[in-house]
């Protein structure tokens, strides 16, 4: 399946799926059928790497609210904290201080620009609503995985 993101004012407003047979002219076809500007994205690309060992495409899979950076040919997730900087190789936001890698749980304290160790709480039960989730250590909760519309 081929995935395409609709871009408005540099922001992804939705992602749609098309048959692979329409991939070559998908952006043109979508613009004709639905209007707007469309850019292809890769479901298996994250941080400039292809999760299955293939060729990475546009640094990150686009999600609603992501930023389209034509100058980097990349989709960039929304910035979580003002102090974090964009790594132009991965097109991910990086904290000014690396998170400690000691197996403990940490959350970013933007006011003091540091990682605060927190007690690893028991993970709450993952929501059972048919959606896909991943555990997000920054918010210590389950975060919904965005899927194409």
Model pLDDT, residue 23: 83
Evaluate whether 70 touches 57 at the Cβ level (below 8 Å): no
Per-residue pLDDT, averaged over 78-107, amounts to: 95
Evaluate whether 2 touches 65 at the Cβ level (below 8 Å): no
18-75 per-position pLDDT tens digit: 888 878 888 888 888 899 999 999 999 999 999 899 889 999 999 999 999 999 999 9
- What residues have CB less than 8 Å from 42, skipping those under 6 apart? 3, 50, 56, 57, 58, 61
Give one DSSP letter per residue of 10-66, joined into a string: TEEEEEEEE-GGGSTTHHHHHHHHH-SEEEEE-TTEETTEETTSS---SSS---TTP
pTM: 0.76
Q: Does residue 116 sit in the same domain as residue 71? A: no
115-134 per-position pLDDT tens digit: 999 887 677 888 899 888 88
CA 84 from chain centre, in angstroms, equals 16
Q: What is the DSSP letter of 46?
A: E
Q: Does 90 map to a domain? A: no
Q: Does residue 63 sit in the same domain as residue 105? A: no
Q: Does 39 map to a domain? A: yes
- The total domain count for the chain is 2
With H, G, I as helix, E, B as strand and everything else as coil, classify residue 102: coil
Residue at which a domain ends, from 80, 111, 135: 80
Taking Cα atoms as reference points, which of 93, 136, 96, 138 lies closest to residue 113? 96
Show the domain range for 128: 95-149
């Amino acid at each position: 399946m081929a995935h395409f993101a609709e871009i408005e004012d540099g922001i992804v407003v939705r992602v749609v799926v098309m048959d692979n047979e329409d991939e070559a002219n998908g952006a043109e076809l979508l613009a004709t059928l639905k209007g707007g500007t469309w850019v292809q994205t890769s479901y298996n690309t994250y941080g400039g790497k292809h999760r299955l060992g293939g060729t990475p495409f546009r640094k990150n899979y686009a999600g609603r609210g992501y930023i389209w950076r034509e100058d980097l040919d990349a989709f960039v997730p929304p910035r979580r904290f003002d102090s974090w900087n964009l790594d132009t190789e991965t097109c991910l936001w990086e904290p000014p201080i690396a998170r400690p890698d000691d197996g403990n749980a940490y959350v970013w304290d933007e006011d003091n620009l540091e990682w605060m160790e927190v007690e690893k709480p028991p993970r709450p039960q993952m929501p059972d609503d048919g959606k896909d989730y991943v555990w997000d250590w920054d918010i210590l909760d389950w975060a919904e995985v965005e899927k194409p519309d």
